[in-house]
Amino acid sequence: MPEALTVRRLSLAFSGLRAVDDLSFEVCEGSVCGLIGPNGAGKTTILNCLTRIATPDAGAVSVFGEDLLARPVHALAGLGVMRTFQNLELFSELTALDNVAMGCAAGHRAGWAAELLGLPAARRAREIAYARAEETLAALGLQAVGDRVVADLPFGTQKSVELARALVARPRLLMMDEPAAGMNTAESAALGRAIRDLARERGMTILLVEHDMGLVMSACDRIVVVVQGRRIAEGTPQEIRADRQVIEAYLGQAAA
């Protein structure tokens, strides 16, 4: 299976402290890869490097064979790369449907002038965006909240709306930063099913940063474990669950 994401010897230091330390791993196309580690392990910093929010000091990153580090942030959508964040990035005063429709902006070709003038191309783009937003909400079981203002929704539902906004752009590679945070058990289980379906039915590649070990173990094909920015283990969920170094460094007695 070809590689969707390749990370080679990635490093980044802040004031002399290594946040990412000579990190290498690959994610195969159409698979789900978990990126786990204790708090402060550098997981979000790694995602920031992979999405051009932070610039690494050294290393190489390729996405579907393209040099990702040579691209500006705004060009990532053109490579089929999307990301969700730990903290919600939604417009709380707008409806869920409005927020999700905005996710189509990455592929919007009508231009701001056409939008401002109300030209047919802009109207058509808007119609397509809202149709795709409705379809995406329905696929995640969120059709009932489409017309509700985001601020009035439970936090777990807001996280699902943010996922829908990333999915509506139909990415090839989706990076998710703690998507289950704030979700209850049922919501987390539904998220796990959605992640597996995205990979298996749509062929989407997913890099998942998550503290919910039940979700990680059930949804991921492979897992990369980092401590202090350095990879200490990589393997299948079964291999990671049995890895003594991982148990000692991160999972603790709960995984024994």
Query: CATH code at 221?
Result: 3.40.50.300
Tell whether 146 is covered by a domain: no
pLDDT in tens, 146-180: 999 999 999 989 999 999 999 999 999 999 999 99
pLDDT band (50, 70, 90) for residue 113: very low
What is the longest distance spanned by two Cα atoms in the chain? 63
Tell whether 136 is covered by a domain: no
Residue whose structure tokens are 């003038």: 117
Report how far residue 185's alpha carbon sits from residue 52's, in angstroms, rounded to the nearest whole number. Answer: 33
Tell whether 191 is covered by a domain: yes
Strands 17-28 and 3-14: antiparallel
pLDDT in tens, 57-66: 999 999 999 9
Residue 123 structure tokens:
């109207």
Question: How many other C-beta atoms lie within 10 A of the C-beta of residue 74?
Answer: 9
pLDDT in tens, 36-53: 998 889 999 999 999 999
Tell whether 235 is covered by a domain: yes
Report whether pLDDT(108) > 70: no
Tell whether 15 is covered by a domain: yes
pTM, to two decimals: 0.87
Report whether pLDDT(84) > 50: yes
- CA geometry: angle at 16 spanning 11 and 22, to 5°? 20
Tell whether 232 is covered by a domain: yes
| 191-215 mean pLDDT | 94
Report the pLDDT value the prediction gives residue 111, as an integer from 0 to 100.
53
pLDDT band (50, 70, 90) for residue 118: low
Tell whether 143 is covered by a domain: no
Residue 10 structure tokens:
């990635």
Tell whether 30 is covered by a domain: yes
pLDDT band (50, 70, 90) for residue 254: very low
Total domains present in the chain:
1
Report whether pLDDT(22) > 60: yes
Q: For a pLDDT cut of 70, what percent of the chain falls above it?
A: 91
Range of the domain at 177: 3-80+171-255
Report whether pLDDT(93) > 80: yes
pLDDT in tens, 120-135: 777 788 899 999 999 9
